Amino acid sequence: MKRRGFLIAGGLIGGGALLGVSLSTPPSARSRLGDNTSFPASGEQVALNGWIKIMPDGRVIVAAPRAEMGQGVHTALAMLVAEEMDADWAKVSTEQAPVAQIYANTALLINVLPFSADDDSGLARLARRTVQKLGYALSLQVTGGSSSVRDAWEPLRLAGATARAMLVDAAAQQWGVSAQDCEVQAGMVRHAASGRSAGFGDLAAASAKMAPRNDVKLKDPSAFRLIGKPAPRTDIPAKVNGSAEFGMDVRPEGLLYAAIRHCPVFGGKVARFDASAAKAMRGVSDVLVIQEQAVVVLADRYWRAKTALDALAIEWADGPHAQLDSAQIDAQLLAALQGQDSGTGFRSQGDADKALSQASRKWEALYSAPFLAHAAMEPINCSAQLKDGHLTVWCGTQVASLARWRAAQVAGLETEQVTLHVPLLGGGFGRRLELDMIEEAVLIAKQTQGRPVKLVWSREEDMQHDMYRPVAKASFVAALDEQGQPSAWLNRLAAPSIGLSTTERLLPRFAADSPDKNQIEGAFDLPYAVPHLSVRQLRVKTPVPVGSWRSVGHSYNAFFTEGFIDELAHAAGKDPFEYRHQLLADKPRHRQVLALAASKADWGQPLPAGRARGIAVHESFGSWCAQVAEVSLEGSQIRVHRVVCAIDCGVVVNPNTVEAQMQSAIVYGLSAALYGEITLKNGRVEQSNFPSYEAVRMAQMPRIEVHILPSSAAPGGVGEPGTPPIAPAVANALFALTGERLRDLPLRPGSSATPQKPS
């Protein structure tokens, strides 16, 4: 076994031993059914298992253990259940699930494994089964990694099919007929021979007493009536009429509002301030210091709390990072790439060093990407109430199980003494994977004598105290053979480690500078055929906290790798599409989306003067996505006119959601490609709000066309895979237009120090 395989296998076995769980097989869908106590029924509701409740009028309520943050996941989960139940879709809704093990996301940890999605080796299969078991053992109730449907695909369908069988058995028993002679359609059970029928609501109470069958089979895809068909989003009506509840809408009786200001320098602390003037202002009840690095004002209205906070003259002890700036961090990354440390090898085949040393023709490049903020529309907020030994938390979080655990830790309680409510999220993008807002809200609630408190961060606090997408630099060296194809490829990547930064925040005693797949994903799993390949990781530590940002490491590695492969195509005098297509001969799913995007975008056909096309393809989160961008320059401003996107995400649950997520991911990635940049000066983040952290506006939106490749493969993710290809597609189009190779994000025409001219 190669060294990487040995380390992976050893880590998996050790992790299983630590948790005391068997790692032979992942939890089965049947073991995750739960019972009618898992999903508590109230009023006239009847629970059939841990996922489904039925109302007397036949309405079906589906447990939704994943956070709804605009990605349409509640609709997708409900569709899985409704399909197998043959429920009336108009009568299906969702309810946020409680925190329980059956709702663990067993697919989430697959994202941290150092295997490409199409790696079907024995070690890859073992690793996937093992981390699924570990995720279940840890009860990781998390929304992230584009994993919600991947995790739910079998459990929710089985829950629906089992509930359907129970309803049929109850009807057959009442009517004295064979269950095999009954059929179900649109929420009704019918016995054709006798003409009898009953709705789900009529049968719910009796079916709850039936023993679930063990021989339930899932539908063949050819029988799907709902899955694969466009369906309206279940969360939209409430969002349109204003009844939808987000975290900002939570208002328990007696609520206090908390405005917060953190030390502007990372690692700094509060030195001193005079609270007397603020406390004398209308509605203000208290001024607090929490965690030594933030000042909080409590008042009966948020605006009053914020106004009083702005009136405070706070002196800060800036600490050791008061002189930190972006140029220093850039130099630190560059020094790492040029230093003696070869880093951690994430992938190695052949002998890249030897092949490069003997090559007669080489191509080199250096790419970079900046820190990025999440900038979700809903401000960071969390409400908490500690009363009579019980803690209640209301927070739009992506990590329900971890949020409850952390809240209990901070409050000094057992997790059973914590009730967590997860309202709708006004955007997440990875920011609400973090627990800082929960920790702060609970610390404040400990000092409000039982009154509930709502902590709200201003936009400036959110922008300047985010857990940022890491800054990164990547160096490339490739050797080209006589046909212009890469015979050797060396890629070294320097960036802060998300894994280390997160562990230091949550479990500092276990923090270790270990290899981090999040940093290198999208680089180590290079799909192109290269005989000699080496991809190495250098972890650079900075004081700036980093975290997951939509598509994580893929967000910058796709720009790096797809930009560099485009350079090689032009250096070889080859068409960028044809060059990629040829190097992907043994990667059929890459090839198919690449060809579909190129065809739909009229690749190779003439464009109006002053326009050009660029192409990129990338796999992430179990889905394959290719994009063609059509661009022009208006003065020094980049204008993207059209984006053609092709995606293979396996079986599609709701085509509407896939299309919307591709559009969302493209505009999010395009905003980062054209404008996104977090910079530091004197230890402080310079950007503070949208005027200094721009996003693509409606007038700048390109026309986006989404084409879904039909597939019978297992579902892949759709929340993130549309983001990685857009930046390289635009950059490659700009090169085709101007001959200038932009290797740094954000893209700024005229900034390249090493222009590459077309061959």
Task: Please state, in angstroms and rounded to a whole number, the distance separating the CA atoms of residues 657 and 616.
Answer: 22
Residues 6+ apart with CB under 8 A from 540: 332, 333, 336, 494, 495, 496
Residue 38 lies in a domain: yes
Query: What's at 407, amino acid-wise?
Result: A
Alpha carbon of 225 to those of 131, 168, 191, 657, 717: distances in Å? Answer: 33, 19, 21, 17, 22
Residue 743 lies in a domain: no
526 shares a domain with 426 = no
629 shares a domain with 483 = yes
What DSSP line would sit under 335-403, residue for residue?
HHHHSS---EEEEEES-HHHHHHT-SSEEEEEEEE-BB----SSPPEEEEEEETTEEEEE---SBHHHH
442 shares a domain with 579 = no
Specify the DSSP class assigned to residue 61: E
182 shares a domain with 315 = no
Task: Please state, in angstroms and rounded to a whole number, the distance separating the CA atoms of residues 527 and 409.
Answer: 44
- Give the neighbor-by-neighbor strand order of the sheet with 362-369: 344-349, 532-539, 486-495, 472-480, 362-369
What is the reported pTM?
0.95
400 shares a domain with 343 = no
Closest CA to 644 of 662, 657, 661: 662
Report residue 483: phi and psi, to 5°: -90, 0
Report residue 184: phi and psi, to 5°: -125, 135
Residue 299 lies in a domain: yes
Task: Please state, in angstroms and rounded to a whole number, the distance separating the CA atoms of residues 110 and 123.
Answer: 13
Closest CA to 663 of 718, 595, 709: 718
386 shares a domain with 367 = no
Alpha carbon of 678 to those of 26, 58, 392, 480: distances in Å? Answer: 41, 52, 35, 36
**Residue 236: both structure tokens together:** 């939209």
251 shares a domain with 237 = no
Task: Please state, in angstroms and rounded to a whole number, the distance separating the CA atoms of residues 290 and 298.
Answer: 13
Residue 117 lies in a domain: no
92 shares a domain with 160 = yes
User: How many other C-beta atoms can be found within 10 angstroms of the C-beta atom of residue 121?
Assistant: 10
User: How many other C-beta atoms can be found within 10 angstroms of the C-beta atom of residue 356?
Assistant: 19
Extended beta strands in 547-678, E state: 611-620, 623-634, 637-648
Residue 196 lies in a domain: yes
Specify the DSSP class assigned to residue 513: -
Task: Please state, in angstroms and rounded to a whole number, the distance separating the CA atoms of residues 601 and 628.
Answer: 7
Question: What is the per-residue pLDDT for 97?
Answer: 96
Question: In this predicted model, what pLDDT tens digit does every residue of 381-420 receive, in sequence order?
Answer: 999 999 999 999 999 999 999 999 999 999 999 999 999 9
Question: What is the per-residue pLDDT for 478?
Answer: 98
Question: What is the per-residue pLDDT for 756?
Answer: 56
Question: In this predicted model, what pLDDT tens digit does every residue of 615-665 receive, in sequence order?
Answer: 999 999 999 999 999 999 999 999 999 999 999 999 999 999 999 999 999
Residue with tokens 């663990």: 104
Task: Please state, in angstroms and rounded to a whole number, the distance separating the CA atoms of residues 192 and 190.
Answer: 6
Residue 98 lies in a domain: yes
145 shares a domain with 44 = yes
Is residue 749 within 8 A of residue 734, CB to CB? The reply is yes
- Show the CA angle centred on residue 332, arms to residues 331 and 335, nearest 5°: 80
Query: What's at 757, amino acid-wise?
Result: K
User: How many other C-beta atoms can be found within 10 angstroms of the C-beta atom of residue 229?
Assistant: 15
Question: What is the per-residue pLDDT for 757?
Answer: 42
Question: What is the per-residue pLDDT for 758?
Answer: 37
Residue 627 lies in a domain: yes
Give the burial string for 287-323 (b: 16+ CB within 10 Å, else e).
bbebeebbbbbbbeebebbbbbbeeeebebebeebbe
Q: Which stretches of the chain score pLDDT less than 70?
A: 1-25, 752-759
Task: Please state, in angstroms and rounded to a whole number, the distance separating the CA atoms of residues 750 and 285.
Answer: 54
Task: Please state, in angstroms and rounded to a whole number, the distance separating the CA atoms of residues 623 and 706.
Answer: 14
Question: What is the per-residue pLDDT for 514?
Answer: 85
Question: What is the per-residue pLDDT for 23?
Answer: 54
Q: Which CATH number covers residue 560?
A: 3.30.365.10
Is residue 375 within 8 A of residue 690, CB to CB? The reply is yes
Closest CA to 356 of 216, 530, 496: 530
Question: What is the per-residue pLDDT for 656?
Answer: 97
386 shares a domain with 337 = no
Closest CA to 35 of 163, 127, 134: 163
First-to-last CA distance in the chain?
Answer: 43
Closest CA to 700 of 644, 642, 614: 642
Residues 6+ apart with CB under 8 A from 583: 485, 486, 528, 529, 530, 565
- Give the neighbor-by-neighbor strand order of the sheet with 637-648: 611-620, 623-634, 637-648, 703-708
Question: In this predicted model, what pLDDT tens digit does every residue of 278-323 receive, in sequence order?
Answer: 999 999 999 999 999 999 999 999 999 999 999 999 999 999 999 9
Residue 651 lies in a domain: yes
Q: What total of structural domains would you count in the chain?
A: 3
Task: Please state, in angstroms and rounded to a whole number, the distance separating the CA atoms of residues 582 and 574.
Answer: 11
544 shares a domain with 404 = no
Task: Please state, in angstroms and rounded to a whole number, the distance separating the CA atoms of residues 334 and 238.
Answer: 50
Last residue of a domain, one of 456, 478, 499: 456
Residue-number span of the structural domain to which 569 is assigned: 326-371+468-738
Last residue of a domain, one of 241, 256, 288: 241
629 shares a domain with 495 = yes
